[in-house]
């Protein structure tokens, strides 16, 4: 599991949020130390007997410590919070648009104006503003990649936008942050931030026409994939497979995980997944295929892992 934290920001929005977080943490620590110090002082000093008369110095202490200081602290926090929230929602110019759709339980990813469709992994160029358009085709999810930006609800019929600029290359892991059913915990999104050159190469490769299967095994797998139910639910661009129920598999071999972060993408896990996905991810729409022979499964695996 890759470490993901709001206090190691690698995106413009997360940066701002982390700033507010540190300010709140600093002020809270300061108040805690002062109050704890006074309690210790009062305990050590003990009770003193004296006449009950009003004392100007004690009154001032109450007015400053109990009224003026809290009002000032809350005022500063209110101004900073409102200012930051307003800055977060400012639309960016020249932003790269990416459409993200919350599914049961995975993420569909597409790039408007291109043919690129993928799943559970978003490729972005570093230092360029991005505008994520978030929708759902089922229930409410929440898109959250802590190192890049704050949470944003993903609601059916209500596109929400998340705008930020990634500030470092690398892979950033996100989660669904709104309980959305049985596999809420297995709805991982990975954001792969690349240099502009690497991103350009990725885009060009995605847009390129696919070549024929790389091996006889893969070619046989392609035939099984078409003949079995696979092609009815999944799309592989450039073939007759154009189902839209499950993730687009055109670049499957390049993806890091299977089942939205459930398993590492390797031939062994893929074979297990094809044979019996529901036992690995109960509730998934992907059915089990116990009827496939081991040979069929191996060929499909060879085919899918060759797609990139």
151 binds ligand CUA (CB under 6 A): no
Under rule CB under 6 A, residue 137 binds ligand CUA: no
For ligand CUA, the closer of residues 176 and 302 by Cβ is 176
Q: Which of 25, 30, 75, 179 is the binder for ligand CUA (CB under 6 A)?
A: 179
Q: How far apart are CA 42 and CA 19, in angstroms?
A: 35
What residues numbered 186-215 form the site for ligand CUA, per CB under 6 A?
187
Return the structure tokens found at 208: 């390129």
Site string for ligand CUA, 81-120 (x = CB under 6 A): ---------------------x--x---------------
Please report how close the Cβ of residue 110 comes to ligand CUA at its closest, in angstroms. 18
Across the chain, the runs of DSSP E, i.e. the strands, are 96-102, 107-110, 117-119, 121-125, 130-136, 141-144, 152-154, 160-164, 170-176, 189-194, 257-258, 263-264
Instruction: Kindly tell me which of 121 and 305 has the beta carbon lying closer to ligand CUA.
Output: 121
The tokens for 37 are 């110090």
Helix (H) or strand (E) holding 268: helix 267-280
* Of the residues 18, 98, 145, 180, which one makes contact with ligand CUA according to CB under 6 A: 180
Question: How many residues make contact with ligand CUA (CB under 6 A)?
Answer: 9
Rounded CA gap, 141 and 33, in Å? 39
CB 207 within 8 A of CB 199: no
Is 178 near ligand CUA (CB under 6 A)?
yes
Residues at the interface with ligand CUA (CB under 6 A)? 102, 105, 141, 176, 178-180, 184, 187
């Amino acid at each position: 599991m890759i470490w993901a934290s709001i206090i190691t920001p690698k995106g413009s929005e997360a940066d701002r949020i982390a700033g507010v977080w540190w300010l709140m943490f600093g002020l809270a620590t300061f108040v805690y130390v002062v109050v704890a110090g006074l309690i210790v002082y009062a305990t050590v000093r003990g009770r003193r007997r004296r006449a009950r008369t009003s004392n100007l110095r004690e009154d001032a202490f109450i007015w400053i410590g109990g009224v003026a200081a809290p009002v000032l602290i809350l005022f500063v926090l209110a101004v900073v919070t409102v200012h930051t929230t307003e800055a977060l929602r400012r639309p960016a110019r020249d932003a790269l648009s990416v459409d993200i759709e919350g599914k049961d339980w995975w993420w569909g990813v597409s790039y408007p104006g291109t043919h690129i469709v993928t799943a559970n992994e978003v490729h972005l160029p570093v230092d360029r503003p991005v505008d994520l358009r978030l929708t759902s085709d089922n229930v409410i999810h929440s898109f959250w990649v802590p190192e890049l930006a704050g949470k944003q609800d993903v609601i059916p019929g209500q596109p929400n936008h998340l705008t930020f600029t990634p500030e470092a290359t690398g892979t950033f892991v996100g989660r669904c942050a709104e309980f959305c059913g049985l596999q809420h915990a297995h709805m991982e999104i990975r954001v792969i931030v690349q240099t502009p050159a690497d991103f350009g190469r990725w885009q060009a490769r995605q847009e390129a026409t696919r070549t024929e299967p790389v091996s006889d095994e893969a070619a046989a797998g392609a035939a099984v994939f078409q003949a079995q139910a696979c092609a009815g639910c999944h799309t592989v661009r450039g073939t007759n497979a154009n189902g839209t129920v499950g993730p687009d598999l055109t670049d499957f071999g390049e993806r890091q995980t299977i089942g939205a972060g459930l398993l590492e993408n390797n031939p062994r896990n893929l074979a297990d997944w094809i044979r019996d996905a529901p036992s690995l991810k109960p509730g998934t729409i992907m059915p089990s295929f116990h009827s496939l022979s081991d040979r069929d499964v191996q060929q499909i695996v060879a085919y899918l892992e060759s797609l990139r």
